[in-house]
Structures are given as structure tokens and as C-alpha cells.
Structure 1
Amino acid sequence: MRIEAKTIEEYVEQLPEERQQAMEKLRLTIKENLPVGFEETLSYGMIGYVIPHRIYPDGYHCKPEEPLPFLSIGSQKDFIGLYHMGIYAFPEVHDWFVAEYPKYVKTKLDMGKSCIRLKKMENIPYELIAELCRKISVEAYIAHYEAAWKK
């Protein structure tokens, strides 16, 4: 489900009504809890949180003209997807999240390598997502990224 939008507000306005409030609360949770340096933008047809070129001029290794992606949220057919590269890149963050999730939500965690599928808007664990956002600084992510991708 790709939404064509020129602004983040336009993106949210195009969502089904039942998802708009959850998406706005999710955005606010992320923006209030990500460490300084991340920037909200539209990327890959979703709302993204990136490390901008002014902080990391090299950009994304696959497309250097784009900023380094870190986290995205997007409305998919049957869920809101939260795509967090730190969960994929840092095993200790992944293990922490998987262990903490049942303390916040009674249903089983539906997760891929970096995608957390939020199927029921009333079950979104905003407090847990807030804590997840605070786990990795811009500097830590860049250092890990360069260790993995730069030869």
C-alpha cells in the first residue's frame, strides 16, 4: 500500500480514518524520543527518520544522494509497519524488544527482521516504542553502520 504524498501531513490525511490518530500518536512518540540528530522526512513512500547529510554527508551506501535511513512508519494493507534498523543491526536491542513486548501487549509479537507489524491500533505499545527510540544515538548508529558497510 503505497501512498503518494508530497508532505507528511498529506500522507497522514490519506490514511484510513481509523489509522490517522494512531499514526499521529506514533509520530509524536517517535519525535519526542529519538535522540538529537534524527530528522523526520518522507522516504520510500513512508514517514522516515533519517540521519541527514549535514550530519552524515556520505548518505546511504545504496544511494548516497539519500540520507542514512534509520526508522520508518508506514500504513500497509493490514497493519502499520514500524521499520527500525536498530532492531536489525543491534542484536541486543532486538533481544531486549522481544523480551519486553509481552509486558505491554497481550497478543503475540508479529515481527520480521526490522519490521514490527502493528495490526490493532488499540494495542500499539507507545511507551515501549518510546523506549526503543531512545536506545540508539546518531553517533552509535553511524559507528555501527560504518563498521558493517565501509571497508
Structure 2
Amino acid sequence: MTAGPAGAALLDELCAPLTPERAGALRTVYRLVRDAMPEGYEEAVSGRMICWSVPLARFPKTYNKQPLMFAALAATKGHNALHLPLLYMSPAHDAVFRKAYADAGQKLDMGKGCVRFTRAEALNEAAIAQAIAAMPVEQFLATYEAARAGASSAA
């Protein structure tokens, strides 16, 4: 996936007020996500987040008429955040992700689908890359539709 100019510009803006450690962590995760991203997702800016989404031309029936977000990266007042909605849509993917952290002996600071971090060393880069790379657009759409239908997805 090529760098989106809007995403790269926002990354610079997000990093500007951060400590060097937080800015470096944000840049590391941006590169990690971009490098692992399967074909078919588009990088764009949504508010103060860099998002990778399914284009509306491919999947127009979203609940909010916006492209379906697969991943997003943001900087908040107290931490950086990597949003991975797949993890709350799919208990199976969530379990694999959490297990990778546990197996590595790393502490996971995460809400339902938002990994919080301030340092790159706190992240399990392999688990993040695997969660992203293992989800082609068609599989993500099937998981999304199953979650919207109330079904538990093992996809």
C-alpha cells in the first residue's frame, strides 16, 4: 500500500506536539499498519485519525454512510491509539490477539478494539501485523456482516 498524502500529512501534525518517544511510537505503528495492510483498503483521514477503510464503491451499505473502517491511528491527550474494530467484531480474532500478547509476556492496554500505547516497545508488532495482514477485504466484510446480524464470527 502506498503512503496516502493526507495520512502522512496528518501523521506529521499529530506527532508535532508529542514527546519524541510518543511521536516515534506513532510513526512506527503507522509504518507497521501500512506495510501489513492487504490490498483493497484505502488510507484516508477522518477527523483527527488516519484510517484504513473499505471504499464506499466496494461496500456502500454501511450503517453511517461512511467507508467501513478496518483500522485507524490517532493521538489523544494521554496516549496513542490503534483502533482495530475487527477485534470487537470477532471473538476468535480477539482471543488470538490477546493470546499473542500473553504468550510474549507483554501487558496489553486495550479496550474493546483500541490498543493504547505511548512507547513502541510496549507493542507486540507481530500480533498487530498478523491481525491486519490476515484479513483480506472480503473476509472483513463477511465478519462485519455477521457481527451486524448478531452472529458470533469465527472468520
Q: TM-score scaled to structure 2, two decimals? A: 0.80
Does 1:33 find its partner at 2:36?
yes
Q: 1:7 to 1:93 in 2, by over 3 A?
A: same
Q: 1:128 to 1:144 in 2, by over 3 A?
A: closer
Structure 2, unaligned runs of 5 or more: 151-155
CA-to-partner distance for each residue in 1:101-137, whole Å, 9 max, x for gaps? Answer: 134453x211111111113233222222111112222
How far apart, in 2, do the equivalents of 1:104 and 1:150 lie?
34
Q: 1:45 corresponds to which residue?
A: 48
- Indicate the RMSD between aligned Cα atoms, in angstroms: 2.2
Structure 1, unaligned runs of 5 or more: 1-5
Alignment partner of 1:7: what SS? helix
How far apart, in 2, do the equivalents of 1:122 and 1:52 lie?
32
How far apart, in 2, do the equivalents of 1:114 and 1:44 lie?
19
How far apart, in 1, do the equivalents of 2:41 and 2:70 lie?
8
Q: 2:120 corresponds to which residue?
A: 121
CA-to-partner distance for each residue in 1:44-101, whole Å, 9 max, x for gaps? Answer: 420111001122132x31x21x111111111112211111011011101100111111
How far apart, in 1, do the equivalents of 2:109 and 2:87 lie?
14
Deviation at 1:34, TM superposition (A): 1.8
Asked if the contact 2:89–2:147 (Cα under 8 Å) also holds between the matched residues in 1, the reply is no
What is the one-letter code of the residue matched to 2:82? L
Ranges of 4+ aligned residues in structure 1 off by more than 6 Å: none
Alignment partner of 1:109: what SS? coil
Q: Alignment length, in residue pairs?
A: 142
How far apart, in 2, do the equivalents of 1:44 and 1:146 lie?
25
Deviation at 1:27, TM superposition (A): 1.6
How far apart, in 2, do the equivalents of 1:32 and 1:97 lie?
18
Alignment partner of 2:115: what SS? strand
Asked if the contact 1:93–1:135 (Cα under 8 Å) also holds between the matched residues in 2, the reply is no
How far apart, in 1, do the equivalents of 2:73 and 2:6 lie?
14
Alignment partner of 1:74: what SS? strand
Q: How does 1:1-151 map to 2 (within 5 A)?
A: 7-14=6-13, 15=15, 16-18=18-20, 19-58=22-61, 60-61=62-63, 63-64=64-65, 66-104=66-104, 106=106, 108-149=107-148
